Structure 1
Amino acid sequence: MSVSSVAAATDRPSVRPPAEAPTGARRGRVLALLAITCAALNLRLVVTALSPLLTTVGDEFGFAATVVGVFGTLPLVAFAVFGLVTPAIMRRLGPELTAVLSMLLTGVGQALRALAPDTGTLLVLTAVALAGAALGNVVLPPLIKQYFPDRLATLSTVQMVAIHAGALFPPLVAVPLAQAVGWRFAVGAWAVIALVAAGLWAAQWLRPTGTAAPQGDLLPARGALARPVWRVGMAWRLALLFGMVTWNVFILFTWLPTLLADAGHSDAFAGSMVSLMVGVSLMFALVAPTVTVRVTNTFPIVALGVGGYATGYLGVAVGPEHLTPLWAVFLGLGTSLFVVTMTMITTRSTTPGGAGALSGFVQGAGSGIALGGPLLFGLVAELTGGWAASYLFVAGASLLVALVTAYAERTPRTIESAAESVHPDPGGTPFVRA
């Protein structure tokens, strides 16, 4: 059996609840779909609801570019820390309650940071909201694996479209909304979505046992893998790839509005370009999970995304200003690599436990690797008096590392089979699912 045929099999309706299945089981899947979608909307919204307004907030609170870099680094700190500890939280609380906790932290943090009186308080409350988003990043892939094992590509697409929608709309309306009613309302109003998601997951948790999920064990048990995930080379390669992609995603979320403002564009235009970038990534998110699931070699997909990043960065740095929307389109193509790497986490596992272990490690270690991106981008610019070195060394070097890593991890292999191998092939080998 080929890799592509194995991957495609994950979307066959072989384990879909049959027509005669209890109505409660089907409703459990519908509620899970709504809860997954609503939760995914919040995972980037926490970042993009604030980043277009950092200049406005900075003028009120009196912080400089270095603090903007700190705000850009906070998401990665949260994703690194909670990526590594979320599997333990899931074992303690269960996945649905972990999702409830995730959305409550996100909603409360967003609502309260709108009332922050100073920079320090705003940073702390933003960290609370980001902690919730970080929990959600890790818990959603194993929840998808459990509730929809027959629809991995479809549900990965739903998740990624929701993530992108949550990232797209806030920067589009943030500046006009802040100008109309103030930045505090523009930042805090989004908390409603997170609180609704918390309610949906609470309802899912309260469902009678046995109808909540179609099969399997959701918890990433300690014995899910033959070896600890941190001792598996494949997991480290995926973490490095995820880290380099995330490095650039958060550089752009943090700095693209500032880069465009420095080029003479208005704050509203800069915010709209962030939305355009995310919108283009959203379009690719409609097809990227299915392609990633089915291909036998993921390297061309990553190479295409890296090429988009390189072209977009080059255009913003030295290209004609009237072509700025085109450069945002290319950056959106690059940003869609986040969809690819998240899909790889879901598809390169055979069990919910393996998915949970791989999701936690890749997102935790990968976010730790990406920590320096936004802060280093701004620091290098301050030290050199311009953006050229930041583009070349901070962004360019990370894209080169992503290419090399993607080539090494170019063929699909499951974390379970890799953990069982005494001497895993560094390039990975095709796997056959029994």
Structure 2
Amino acid sequence: MRPSSVPAAADRPSARPRTRGRTLALIAIVCAALNLRLVVTSLSPLLATVGEEFGFTAVVVGVFGTLPLIAFAVFGLVTPAIMRRLGPEATAALSMLLTGAGQVVRSFAPDTGTLLVLTGIALTGAALGNVVLPPLIKQYFPDRLAALSTVQMVAIHAGALFPPLVAVPLAETMGWRFALGAWSVLALAAALLWALQGRRVRRDAPAVAASGRRSGAVPADGAGPEDAAGAGPARPIWRVGTAWRMALLFGMVTWNVFTLFTWLPALLTGAGHSPAAAGAMVSLMVGSSLLFGLVAPTLTLRAVNTFPIVALGLTGYAVGYLGVAAAPQLAPLWVVCLGLGTSLFVVTMTMINARSTTARGSAALSGFVQGAGSGIALGGPLLFGLLRELTGGWTASYALVAGGSLAVAFVVAHVERTPWTIEAAAAAAGGRPG
């Protein structure tokens, strides 16, 4: 027997929070979200160019594709603890500082190993940001979850869309090192904004806490007492079946997202497209995902049954993969289909807030789903390239890496189709997973 749920209705607040401090928070959320995929998509179109200079193979390209997932897996699981120690605003500032610093220094990398390590530093920051942003949205905008989830999604996609579009032309003009390092300005600006927001919260905390005690209200903007975020799940998140199912679904979606970010340029250049055209196709995929994703947060938050939404995205993936394999000359059509599938990332991220009722519940679920899910997805990009090396063709890669993951995601999406909240699942009687 499943626990009772509290279906999330988009933009329906139980108590409307004060607006003070939310403008800066909104700007900081947008700036941080711009950087969450930029670290990956600014490098992937340049891997062929960098590979010629450093002399690495397809397996190393797969390692670069797997590196984000390693960072997201490790730091997805530990970010909630960092947030409890530093606070969410300081964690967001740290994440952007690491991202910006990593992007700057990796542009000076002298060899493959150094480039991997420095890219890992930048990805560590992006991993922290991935986890901390959903609970920050829950904390500052509990009355605008659908709207802010859409804003975050647009910013993430914008940060993923433009770098591959301009990376190759910029590298041809200024060199690949400049094309990598120039994007660090966005991350460093986001770090400054979150530092300013954290300073404001610390400055206003005593007054807000006193105001809350006088009125009996619980602050909703994160500038108040410790219990402002809510009690969170009643038992460890790893003991809740809903969390594991969401992590597996997130993992299968992420598996394909990063496989495509890593390998789509190589697949298209191998089929006769130019490197610049292949980079433009990555941007088209991201842009298509952005268009489909504009309605995804609202649909997800309002859905009584999320399976049709996920099934539609999985169908887009399947059609896109088949098209790229069978008729690569029609790449724009298939890339749009892949963009529909990639928009599932927005759906799974929105589920984190849709299936939690408190900021602490959102933080716990965000960390676990992104950490465990990214761990599940680790094999995608590396296995895709390894099978290519072993078989001399892409057939096994398409069949096992793409087809197998889509089949698993379809089954999990059907099982986890009803939006039970993580707090309700954790509080289920008898201690059994919810």
TM-score by length of 1: 0.92
Q: Which position in structure 2 is the counterpart of 1:203?
A: 196
Matched letter for residue 12 of structure 1 = R
Provide the residue aligned with 1:365 in structure 2: 372
Superposition deviation, residue 5 in structure 1: 9.3
**1:57–1:217 CA distance, 2 compared to 1 (3 A):** farther
Q: Which residue of 2 aligns with 1:21?
A: none
Does 2:397 match 1:390?
Answer: yes
Alpha-carbon displacement from aligned partner over 1:197-233 (angstroms, at most 9, x marks no partner): 0010011011122469536767899973211000000
Q: Distance in 2 between matches of 1:245 and 1:6?
A: 23
Matches within 5 A, 1:100-115: 100-115=93-108
Alignment match of 1:316 (pick from 305, 324, 337): 324
Q: Distance in 2 between matches of 1:393 and 1:328?
A: 20
CA 1:347–1:310: 2 relative to 1, 3 Å: same
**Which letter maps to 1:82?**
F
Alignment of 1:122-141 (within 5 A): 122-141=115-134
Contact kept, 8 Å, 2:8 with 2:355, in 1: the verdict is: no
Amino acid at match of 1:406: A
Match of 1:292 in 2: 300
Displacement of 1:194: 0.2
**Alpha-carbon spacing, 1:416–1:310, altered in 2? closer, same or farther (3 Å):** same
Aligned partners of 2:7 and 2:304 also within 8 Å: no
Q: Deviations over 1:4-39 (max 9, x none)?
A: 99422x50355334xxxxxxx534100000000000
Shift in alpha-carbon separation, 1:112–1:310, aligned structure 2, 3 A: same
Structure 2 distance, partners of 1:63, 1:55, is 9
Instruction: Give 1:375's match in structure 2, choosing from 382, 389, 393.
Output: 382
Please tell me whether residue 45 in structure 1 is matched to residue 38 in structure 2: yes
Q: Cα–Cα, structure 1 residues 217 and 411, in superposed 2: closer, same or farther, change >3 Å?
A: farther
Instruction: Report the counterpart of residue 241 of structure 1 in structure 2.
Output: 249
> Identical aligned pairs, as a percentage?
75
Distance, in Å, in 2 between the alignment partners of 1:424 and 1:248 is 34
Task: State whether residues 217 and 352 of structure 1, in contact with CA within 8 Å, keep that contact through their aligned partners in structure 2.
Answer: no
* Higher alpha-carbon deviation: 267-276 or 200-209: 200-209
Alignment partners' CA distance in 2, 1:326 and 1:219: 50
Q: How does 1:15-94 map to 2 (within 5 A)?
A: 15-17=15-17, 26-94=19-87
Q: Are residue 191 (structure 1) and residue 184 (structure 2) matched?
A: yes
Instruction: Find the aligned partners of 1:424 and 1:347 in 2 and give their Cα distance.
Output: 23
In structure 1, C-alpha distance between the alignment counterparts of 2:199 and 2:306, rounded to whole Å: 40
Name 1:22's counterpart in structure 2. Answer: none
Partner of 1:327: 334
- Structure 1 residue ranges without an equivalent (≥5): 18-24, 429-434
Q: Which residue of 2 aligns with 1:12?
A: 12
1:415 equivalent to 2:410? Answer: no
Q: Distance in 2 between matches of 1:32 and 1:222?
A: 20
Hey, what does 1:258 align to over in structure 2?
266
Pick from 340, 343, 351 the counterpart of residue 336 of structure 1: 343
Q: Which residue of 2 aligns with 1:20?
A: none
SS at match of 1:153: helix
Instruction: Classify 1:295/1:180 alpha carbon distance in 2 versus 1 (closer, same or farther; 3 Å).
Output: same
Residue type of the alignment partner of 2:135: P
Q: Could you tell me how far apart the structure 2 residues matched to 1:217 and 1:356 are?
A: 17
Amino acid at match of 2:184: A
- Measure, in 2, the Cα distance between the counterparts of 1:333 and 1:5: 28
Summarize deviations over 1:345-393 as a string: whole Å, max 9, x none.
1110000110000000000000000000000000011111100110011
CA–CA distance in structure 2, aligned partners of residues 425 and 343 of structure 1: 26
2:277 corresponds to which of 269, 279, 301: 269
| Deviations 1:101-135 (CA, angstroms, capped at 9, x unpaired) | 00000000000000111111100000000000000
The alignment partner of 1:15 has SS state of coil
**Residue 413 of structure 1: CA displacement?**
0.6
Q: CA deviation at 1:323?
A: 1.3
> Could you tell me how far apart the structure 1 residues matched to 2:329 and 2:228 are?
50
CA distance in 1, matches of 2:73, 2:228: 18
Q: Do the aligned residues in 1 keep the contact of 2:6 with 2:421 (CA within 8 Å)?
A: no
Q: Distance in 2 between matches of 1:85 and 1:201?
A: 20
Alignment of 1:158-173 (within 5 A): 158-173=151-166
Equivalent position SS for 1:43: coil
Aligned length: 416
Runs of 4+ more than 4 Å apart:
3-6, 215-223, 423-426
**1:283 pairs with one of 288, 291, 296:** 291
CA shift digits 1:41-75 (9 cap, x unpaired):
00000000000000000001111111000000000
Secondary structure (helix, strand or coil) at the match of 2:280 reads helix
Which sections of structure 2, spanning at least 5 residues, go unmatched? 209-218
Conservation of the 8 A alpha-carbon contact between 1:29 and 1:213: no
Aligned pair in 2 of structure 1 residues 27, 185: CA closer, same or farther (>3 Å)?
farther
Q: Aligned runs of 1:222-241 on 2, under 5 Å?
A: 224-241=232-249
- Please tell me whether residue 306 in structure 1 is matched to residue 306 in structure 2: no
CA distance in 2, matches of 1:221, 1:30: 20
Match of 2:413 among 406, 409, 413: 406
Q: Separation in 1 of the partners of 2:280 and 2:329?
A: 14
